[in-house]
């Protein structure tokens, strides 16, 4: 099986990463009863002998016991706080200090500081750390990057790392989970950072999963409202019970679950496998249009036995419900160019076909790709759930999200406000215009798709069958 290396950059990235590793461990602990180090565990973890420094990999053999697990991860932050917290927390054992790249001073919410200043100074260190992680894999399939778009380290250094990976490992797939700031964000320069980072994402990423803070917050609120504290412990959203948990841990757990479900099919057996490279082939119709809307369902399961469990079909309806999306958008209003349904657990191929037939009437597919479905079946459900669905789609409803980013950028840029903070850190003035142009290009791709869909009649009059 193939391996993936997770790179978590900045405060947000590392916090999401912490949830991810916690849940990944829990998932493998559930399905790996005899404590052996198997192929599926090998995807995200190494089995090492800790008597050596740095720890040495143990060979992957049938029935080999787990000695000590190390995450295939690189932790990068320009402040020490979160990384140190991770290294001293319950997950300390799965990380080595060799896997971290830290500084003390932070990026000051400035993309240019992250990209130029820290990019230059830490290039060698990051490159070496990543190379060591890569050399420990026998077949590397993908990099998964976790970072935010609003801050300085995540967006600046994060996209710098992305560019570095594109340079050094061009054939390895790069998945980016980018957390977009909410509208009422406390970082005033976040529109600049987002647009500059978007430019990089468009050039160097294979797939981007935009996640909006606001959407995650809403999901958590809805779950709280619906469940009123009767949440099952193992739902996709954790319950508010733990004292130590921070408010964003619950939001991050949604992102972590999304990533786990996305990679589940390449980790566990199933009757219709979807490897991560199939996601790019199926969901990116044109170069540059690689931003995917994601939704996860079911998000919660009630512990209360008096409430009947949610039906299987409900899961498919929920996937296209705006309140289940990881970005604030309305999937039924946008136009889909492609859609992947990745199902885990006790679901059969006939269930998928039935539900596709059912939901497709409510969705607008682009006229030239009316049947753009990709289906996957993985036998292992997430921990504590009977079945789960991850829906990834290339939907033009992201148009709205990105035009919001653009208008907030223009508000600042028209006044040339805060610009000097960027130019003094070695950034060329042209980069703003280039970034804006590339965002405009993306928006025009979306409008093109929308226009095609409107102008073409249901039946093409110009094409005939022999």
Partner 1 sequence: MSVVTVQLGQAGNQAGHAMLQCMWDHHASQASKSDSVHRFFRESKRCGGCHVARAICVDTESKVISHINEMQHQAPKSWTYDQARTLFTKRGAGNNWANGYYNYGRAHVPDIVNMIRLEMEACDLVEGFSILQSVAGGTGSGLGAAVLDALQDEFPHVPSWAKIIWPHETGETVVQSYNCVLSMAHAYQACDGILLFENDHLQDICHRMLRLKRVTVQDLNKVIAQQLVAALSCTREASLDDFSQMSPVNSSFGQVLREACPHPDYKLLRLRLVPQMPPTYQAFTRYEWAPLLKTASAMLNAGAHLEEGFHRARPLQNAARSATGTTRALVTAATGTVAAHAATADLTSQTPLYPHPPAEPPFLAPPPEALVQGRHGTEDNTSTAIARGGNACVSQLYFCHGTDLASGALRDVGTTTATPKVFASRSNDRTRIAGNGKAVALLSNEKALAHPLRVTSSCLSVKSPAAKTPQLAAHHNTIKPNHTTRPQDYYYSHKRARTHARPRKRPQRAVSHKAWRLYRHRAFLHQYSAYGLGAEDLHQHFLALQQVVRSYQSL
Stretch that binds partner 1, among 43-51, 235-243, 270-278, 415-423 (CB under 8 A): 270-278
Name the minimum Å distance from CB 355 to partner 1. Answer: 11
Q: Which of 85, 321, 450, 456 binds partner 1 (CB under 8 A)?
A: 456
Stretch that binds partner 1, among 14-22, 243-251, 281-289, 417-425 (CB under 8 A): 281-289
Name the minimum Å distance from CB 282 to partner 1. Answer: 4
**Contact criterion met (CB below 8 Å) for 109 and 189:** yes
Spatial distance between the Cα atoms of 372 and 284, rounded to a whole number of angstroms? 11
Q: Which of 257, 337, 385, 396 binds partner 1 (CB under 8 A)?
A: 337
Contact track, partner 1, 95-134, x by CB under 8 A? ----------------------------------------
Name the minimum Å distance from CB 38 to partner 1. Answer: 11
**Would you say the C-alpha torsion 409, 399, 220, 284 has a positive or negative sign?**
negative
* 326 Cα distance to chain centroid: 10
Stretch that binds partner 1, among 128-136, 195-203, 216-224, 336-344 (CB under 8 A): 336-344
Binding of residue 281 to partner 1 (CB under 8 A): yes
Residue 403 half-sphere exposure toward CB, CA atoms < 13 A: 11
CA-wise closest residue to 276 among 377, 356, 184, 207: 207
Binding of residue 280 to partner 1 (CB under 8 A): yes
Interior angle at CA 327, CA 331 and CA 329, nearest 5:
35
Name the minimum Å distance from CB 270 to partner 1. Answer: 8
Contact track, partner 1, 290-329, x by CB under 8 A? ----------------------------------------
Per DSSP, the three-state class of 374 is: strand
Q: Which of residues 1-20 bind partner 1 (CB under 8 A)?
A: 1-2
Name the minimum Å distance from CB 350 to partner 1. Answer: 4
Per DSSP, the three-state class of 384 is: coil
Name the minimum Å distance from CB 22 to partner 1. Answer: 26
**Contact criterion met (CB below 8 Å) for 108 and 152:** yes
Contact track, partner 1, 414-453, x by CB under 8 A? ----------------------------------x--xx-
Spatial distance between the Cα atoms of 98 and 46, rounded to a whole number of angstroms? 14
Decide whether 140 or 255 has the Cβ nearer to partner 1: 140
Q: Which of residues 347-366 bind partner 1 (CB under 8 A)?
A: 348-351, 353, 356-357, 360
Q: Which residues pair with 444 in a beta bridge?
A: none
Rounded to 5 degrees, φ, ψ at 297 are: -150, 150
Q: How many CB atoms lie within 10 A of CB 402?
A: 22
Q: Which of 121, 203, 226, 370 binds partner 1 (CB under 8 A)?
A: 370
Name the minimum Å distance from CB 385 to partner 1. Answer: 18
Spatial distance between the Cα atoms of 19 and 426, rounded to a whole number of angstroms? 35
Which residues are CB-neighbours of 311 under 8 A, at least 6 positions away?
none
Spatial distance between the Cα atoms of 284 and 345, rounded to a whole number of angstroms? 27
Q: Which of 8, 47, 141, 148 binds partner 1 (CB under 8 A)?
A: 141
Name the minimum Å distance from CB 42 to partner 1. Answer: 11
Locus of tokens 């094409």: 463
Which residues are CB-neighbours of 15 under 8 A, at least 6 positions away?
82, 246, 248, 249, 252
Per DSSP, the three-state class of 155 is: helix
Binding of residue 338 to partner 1 (CB under 8 A): yes
Q: Which of 330, 367, 386, 431 binds partner 1 (CB under 8 A)?
A: 367
Spatial distance between the Cα atoms of 84 and 86, rounded to a whole number of angstroms? 5
Q: How many CB atoms lie within 10 A of CB 421?
A: 17
Size of the site for partner 1 (CB under 8 A): 58
Decide whether 354 or 431 has the Cβ nearer to partner 1: 354
Interior angle at CA 117, CA 111 and CA 122, nearest 5:
115
Binding of residue 277 to partner 1 (CB under 8 A): yes
Q: Which residues bind partner 1 (CB under 8 A)?
A: 1-2, 39, 138-139, 141, 269-273, 275, 277-278, 280-287, 337-340, 348-351, 353, 356-357, 360, 367-375, 377, 448, 451-452, 455-456, 458-466
């Amino acid at each position: 099986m193939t391996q993936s290396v997770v790179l978590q950059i900045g405060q947000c990235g590392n916090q999401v990463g912490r949830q991810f590793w916690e849940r990944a461990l829990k998932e493998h602990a559930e399905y790996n009863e005899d404590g052996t180090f198997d192929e599926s565990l090998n995807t995200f973890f190494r089995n090492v002998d800790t008597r050596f420094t740095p720890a040495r990999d143990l060979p992957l053999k049938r029935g080999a016991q787990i000695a000590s697990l190390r995450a295939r991860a690189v932790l990068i932050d320009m402040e020490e706080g979160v990384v140190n917290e991770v290294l001293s927390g319950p997950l300390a054992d799965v990380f080595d200090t060799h896997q971290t790249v830290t500084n003390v001073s932070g990026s000051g919410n400035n993309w240019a500081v992250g990209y130029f200043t820290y990019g230059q100074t830490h290039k060698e260190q990051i490159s070496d750390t990543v190379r060591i992680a890569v050399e420990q894999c026998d077949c590397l399939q993908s990099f998964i990057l976790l970072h935010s778009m609003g801050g300085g380290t995540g967006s600046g250094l994060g996209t710098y790392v992305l560019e570095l990976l594109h340079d050094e490992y061009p054939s390895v797939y790069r998945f980016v989970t980018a957390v977009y700031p909410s509208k009422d964000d406390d970082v005033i320069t976040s529109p600049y950072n987002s647009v500059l980072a978007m430019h990089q994402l468009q050039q160097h990423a294979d797939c981007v999963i935009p996640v909006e803070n606001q959407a995650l917050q809403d999901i958590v609120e809805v779950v709280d409202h619906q469940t009123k504290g009767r949440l099952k412990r193992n739902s996709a959203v954790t319950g508010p019970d733990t004292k130590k948990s921070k408010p964003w841990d619950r939001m991050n757990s949604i992102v972590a679950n999304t990533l786990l479900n996305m990679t589940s099919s390449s980790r566990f057996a199933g009757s219709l496998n979807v490897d991560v490279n199939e996601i790019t082939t199926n969901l990116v119709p044109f170069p540059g249009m690689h931003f995917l809307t994601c939704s996860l369902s079911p998000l919660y399961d009630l512990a209360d036995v008096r409430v009947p469990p949610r039906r299987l079909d409900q899961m498919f309806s929920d996937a296209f419900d705006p309140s289940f999306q990881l970005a604030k958008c309305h999937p039924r209003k946008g136009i889909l160019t492609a859609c992947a349904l990745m199902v885990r657990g006790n679901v059969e191929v006939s269930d998928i076909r039935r539900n596709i037939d059912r939901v497709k009437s409510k969705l607008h597919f682009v006229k030239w790709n009316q049947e753009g479905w990709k289906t996957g079946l993985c036998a292992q459900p997430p921990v504590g759930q009977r079945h789960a669905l991850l829906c990834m789609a290339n939907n033009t409803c992201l148009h709205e999200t990105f035009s919001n980013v653009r208008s907030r950028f223009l508000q600042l840029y028209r006044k040339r406000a805060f610009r000097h903070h960027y130019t003094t850190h070695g950034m060329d003035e042209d980069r703003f215009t280039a970034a804006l142009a590339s965002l405009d290009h993306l928006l025009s791709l979306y409008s093109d798709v929308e226009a095609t869909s409107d102008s073409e009649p249901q039946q093409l009059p110009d094409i005939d069958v022999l």
